[in-house]
A and B are shown apart, each in its own frame.
Chain A
């Protein structure tokens, strides 16, 4: 009996020694196997829950929805009329830009992805899982954004899924620039609030991110835009990160600390863009 226990102990120790030191290619293949199998169900249930949530909200507010539809009808008519005018202005603007030798506005190449899971599976980090991976051109460290602003960066990639570390996680750091003042700083995620109406789900109630070591003589006002600086090579310059909520002095009294609210609505993320070519 004692011999069998000893043999089992040795076998287990060897097994874990190998498992904990597997080459990344082998361990990622193993992860792919399970994640790929589960991704279909994760996506299906996430879509189902979203539809149930929307339907229940719609049933509860049917009167408001009818009013909203009428208002949108009118707005569409007004916008169509305005668009006709804008198209002409746009054409003229492009012609003038070409004439003056201006380069076209820098554009980034993106892949549109749906959110299929809203946490890392055990709740250690604030992440989300997307339905696109290596085979669709997604790679580690690529920035993830919505049209409103930066959401996070890709940290793990499978064949058809990827995991994104969110801007609100304390482990997230990015070099930023205050748009008006032009000064730089390192923004760090603020974590999530334990209070609030929506306590379920990782993407709810993010606390403002913090930018440390801001020079104390700078007069940065609440509402100022914060964008990526482009330093560090991971994020292209100029991606909107958020807006300054408040400024305060740090404990030493030598620097200011800026609290920045993310521009992207983290609680409602359903589709995002992965920047594949900055």
Chain B
């Protein structure tokens, strides 16, 4: 059942992320649904499941966009593993924490992707002020999207009888 819910969240998140309009004022940042799904699994599931979710979320994001395959997955896995390792020591289980993490991870993922694109000379035409705007935009959207995805995912899992780490 965990796998079914994960697939549902990833595909639904991917579809929503690709369909939602982007605003120029936010650096054309897209609502980070897939990052939020990855964040949920990093904070609420065992490390193996978190890594799998991060890889799948990244591959879907890269496939739907023009990013080279593996870039988003690498970012999601790095942040996912760090969060999975430190969640019990550092983070409380509240939607406020999730919102702050969603904003931080949104900005960091955008910066990470830009650095990887720059290393491969794929971001030569993108000025840094645009990246900064995009980081701010993704952070703002992550602030709202991450708790929403968390609530949907946790509710779904609770309905099918699963309990996430925070409830154990």
Taking beta carbons and an 8 Å cutoff, which residues of A are in contact with B?
8, 12, 15-16, 19-20, 22, 27, 30-31, 33-35, 38, 41-42, 45-46, 117-125, 127, 155-156, 163, 169-171, 191-194, 199-202, 204-205
Contact = CB atoms under 8 A, between A and B. Distances in A.
B73 A16 contact: yes
A123 B125 contact: no
B51 A123 contact: no
A123 B18 contact: no
Q: Most chain-A Cβ atoms within 10 A of its Cβ — which of B15, B21, B63, B117? A: B63
B161 to A, nearest CB: 28
A124 B67 contact: yes
6 contacts: A20-B69, A124-B65, A124-B66, A127-B66, A194-B24, A201-B22
Contacts of B148: none
Contacts of A20: 68-71, 74
Contacts of B69: 19-20, 22, 27, 30-31
Contacts of A194: 24-25
B126 A124 contact: yes
Nearest to A20: B70
Contacts of B21: 118, 200-201
B136 interface: no
Interface string B18-58: 11011111011110000000000000000110010001000
Nearest to B64: A121
A139 to B, nearest CB: 17
Contacts of A125: 66
Given A20-B68, A38-B15, A200-B21, A12 B77 contact: yes
Given A119-B28, A194-B24, A199-B23, A16 B74 contact: yes
Contacts of B65: 120-122, 124
Interface residue range, chain B = 35 or more
Contacts of B134: 123
A102 B39 CA distance: 67
A7 to B, nearest CB: 11
A15 B74 CA distance: 10
A33 B72 CA distance: 18
A52 to B, nearest CB: 13
A26 to B, nearest CB: 9
A59 B68 CA distance: 44
Nearest to A192: B24
B30 A122 contact: yes
Interface string B103-133: 0000000000100010000011111001000
Contact of A119 (B22, B51, B77): B22
B98 interface: no
A122 B63 CA distance: 11
Given A34-B60, A38-B14, A121-B61, A156 B28 contact: no
A123 B25 CA distance: 12
Contact of B22 (A8, A155, A200): A200
